[in-house]
């Protein structure tokens, strides 16, 4: 018999989000005939892959009342790092592994600062964001690193079954795996519990520090993975890439129902949130909207997401109060 975590499994919210997504696609399709096409769908999926991976990580973080702002820098660094390793002759698989480990190490650093030095996650990861970004520029002397390795180039463009590229496949698998972990494992449950009441979690025998550390490692590895795929797609490691990545990931998660106050959120919601954002961005690009307006749009989307969050919280509290009376 399946069990739901009642607060985060609010079906009505998910349906509402799907509705928003559908209306969005409808509007853009109306404005540009090419929008509703297989080619564009592929396009959107591919461009979702990086944001999607980071959104997964941020979902975990935000549920546990934490956050990781360094994801963009880690992604850029990994892309540059991988490109440089490849050019030095390392084989692609090892390169990928090294890049992921690098991301994991940043995660450990973030985790240690948050748990041992007790610095707020937002501040800590802002700092590492700057530091890692700096290193991204340092190791490549400020210049983009071009990739000539065939395997890697294929990684970005090869299509399985004719339409699924590898980054997209990895994204889908990640959504599924991390979604299952969130719902059905001790780690996933611990993430929710941490977001509900950290002190009570500790008294109940959970180890908050271990959980936080694991979450930051996940964050680092997923960002690195996304960064490597991005570099593969662009055929180069760019130290300036992924400026807004953390921002995008957080917006997607919050839009999808992950409450900023913690303790609430689902992977399914985040998936829909990611697509709402990516469809939006792609739509604006297809309408030849200047790239700068996309920044404005992103900001507005985040405010919208936070407003939804606020209203949802009000609704949730009301439901709780009404329910607690009726149960007497």
In sequence order, the 6+-apart residues with CB closer than 8 A to the CB of 112 are: 213
Of residues 5 and 84, the one with the C-beta less far from another protein: 5
Q: How far is the CB of 147 from another protein (least distance, A)?
A: 35
Which of 72, 79, 179, 195 is close enough to bind another protein by CB under 8 A?
195
Bridge partners, 160 (sequence order)? 164
Residue 14 is a binding residue for another protein (CB under 8 A): no
173 counts as binding another protein under rule CB under 8 A: no
Examine residue 88 and tell whether it contacts another protein (CB under 8 A): no
Distances (CA, A) of 176 to 88, 215, 270, 314: 35, 17, 12, 30
Q: How far is the CB of 320 from another protein (least distance, A)?
A: 6
Q: What is the 3-state secondary structure (H, E, C) of 243-281?
A: CCHHHHHHHHHHHCCCCCCCCCCCHHHHHHHHHHHHHHH
Region 244-273 residues binding another protein, contact defined as CB under 8 A? 262-264
DSSP 34: G
Q: Max alpha carbon distance in the chain (Å)?
A: 70
Q: Which of 64/129 has CB closer to another protein?
A: 64
Helix (H, G, I), strand (E, B) or coil at 116: coil
Q: By CB under 8 A, name the one of 203, 288, 291, 292 that touches another protein.
A: 203
Sole residue written with tokens 């439901």: 319
CB of 309 to another protein, least distance (A): 15
207: contact with another protein by CB under 8 A: yes
118 binds another protein (CB under 8 A): no
Query: Which is closer to another protein, CB of 4 or CB of 116?
Result: 4
In angstroms, the first-to-last Cα distance of the chain is: 28
Restricted to residues 301-320, the positions that interact with another protein (CB under 8 A) are 320
Radius of gyration of the chain measured on its C-alpha atoms: 20
Indicate whether 12 belongs to the interface with another protein (CB under 8 A): no
Judged by CB under 8 A, does residue 214 bind another protein? no
- The answer to whether 63 and 189 are in contact (CB under 8 A) is no
Residues in the chain: 328
- Comparing CB distances to another protein, the nearer of 199 and 292 is 199
Query: Total residues at the site for another protein (CB under 8 A)?
Result: 39
Told to check if 171 binds another protein by CB under 8 A, we report no
Q: Is 196 in the site for another protein (CB under 8 A)?
A: yes
For residue 109 the two structure tokens come to 């650093």
Stretch in the footprint of another protein (CB under 8 A) among 4-12, 35-43, 217-225, 273-281: 4-12
E strand or H helix at 236, and its extent? strand 236-237
Binding positions for another protein, rule: CB under 8 A:
1-8, 180, 184-186, 189, 192-193, 195-197, 199-207, 262-264, 320-328
């Amino acid at each position: 018999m399946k069990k739901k975590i009642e607060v985060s499994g609010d079906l009505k919210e998910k349906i509402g989000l799907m509705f928003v997504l559908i209306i969005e696609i409808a509007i853009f399709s109306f404005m540009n005939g090419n929008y509703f096409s297989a080619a564009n769908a592929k396009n959107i999926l591919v461009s979702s892959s990086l944001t999607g991976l980071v959104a997964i990580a941020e979902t975990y973080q935000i549920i546990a009342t934490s956050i990781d702002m360094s994801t963009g820098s880690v992604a850029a660094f990994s892309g540059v790092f991988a490109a440089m390793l490849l050019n030095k002759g390392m084989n692609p698989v090892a390169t990928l592994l090294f890049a992921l480990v690098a991301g994991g190490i940043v995660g450990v650093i973030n985790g240690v600062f948050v748990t041992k030095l007790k610095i707020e996650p937002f501040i800590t990861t802002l700092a590492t964001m700057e530091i890692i970004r700096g290193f991204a520029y340092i190791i490549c002397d400020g210049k983009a690193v071009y990739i000539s390795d065939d395997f890697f180039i294929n990684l970005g463009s090869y299509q399985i079954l004719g339409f699924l590229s590898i980054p997209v496949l990895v994204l889908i698998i990640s959504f599924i795996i991390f979604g299952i972990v969130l719902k059905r494992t001790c780690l996933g449950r611990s993430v929710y519990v941490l977001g509900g009441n950290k002190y009570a979690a500790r008294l109940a025998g959970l180890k908050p520090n271990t959980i936080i550390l694991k979450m930051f490692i996940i964050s680092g590895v997923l960002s690195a993975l996304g960064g490597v795929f991005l570099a593969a797609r662009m055929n180069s490691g760019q130290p300036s890439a992924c400026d807004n990545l953390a921002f995008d990931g957080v917006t997607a998660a919050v839009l999808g129902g992950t409450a900023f106050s913690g303790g609430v959120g689902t992977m399914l919601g985040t998936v829909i949130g990611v697509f709402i954002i990516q469809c939006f961005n792609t739509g604006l690009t297809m309408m030849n909207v200047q790239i700068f307006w996309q920044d404005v749009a992103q900001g507005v989307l985040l405010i919208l997401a936070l407003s939804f969050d606020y209203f949802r919280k009000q609704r949730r509290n009301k439901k709780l109060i009404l329910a607690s009376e009726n149960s007497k």
